Amino acid sequence: MERHMFGDLIHMGTSAIAVRVGAEPDIKGFTVHEQLIRKSSPFFEAALSNPATTAHPILIKLPKCSPTDFHVYVQWLYTGRVHVVLTSPITSDKDTDEYCLLIRGYLLGEYLQDTHYRDTLMDALVQLVSGPIKSFLARTEFGRIYQETKIESPLRRLLVDVAVWRHNWEYAKEQDFPKEMFWGVMTGLADRCQRPAGEAQSTSPFEVVKGTCHYHCHGDDTPCYKPKPPV
Contact residues toward Zn ion (CB under 5 A) are: 213, 216, 224
CB of 218 to Zn ion, least distance (A): 5
Minimum distance of Zn ion from residue 108's CB (angstroms) = 19
Distances (CA, A) of 96 to 16, 102, 223: 31, 10, 32
Which of 13/223 has CB closer to Zn ion?
223
Minimum CB separation of residue 164 from Zn ion in Å reads 23
* Nearest distance in Å: CB 225, Zn ion: 7
Q: Sign of dihedral through CA atoms 91, 93, 98, 102?
A: negative
Question: Quick one: which of 82, 75, 83, 81 has its CA closest to 36?
Answer: 75
Q: Which is nearer to Zn ion, 30 or 117 (CB)?
A: 117
* CB neighbour list of residue 227: distance below 8 Å, 6 or more residues apart: none
Between 90 and 224, name the residue whose CB sits nearer to Zn ion: 224
- CA dihedral sign, ordered 62, 66, 69, 74: positive
Residue 58 CB, shortest distance to Zn ion, in Å, is 32
Q: In what order do the strands lie in the sheet containing 59-62?
A: 26-33, 16-23, 59-62
Q: Between vectors from CA 145 to CA 139 and to CA 149, what angle results, nearest 5°?
A: 160
If you ran DSSP here, which 8-state letter would residue 90 be given? B
Q: Which residue's CB is nearer to Zn ion, number 38 or number 216?
A: 216
Q: Which is nearer to Zn ion, 42 or 143 (CB)?
A: 42
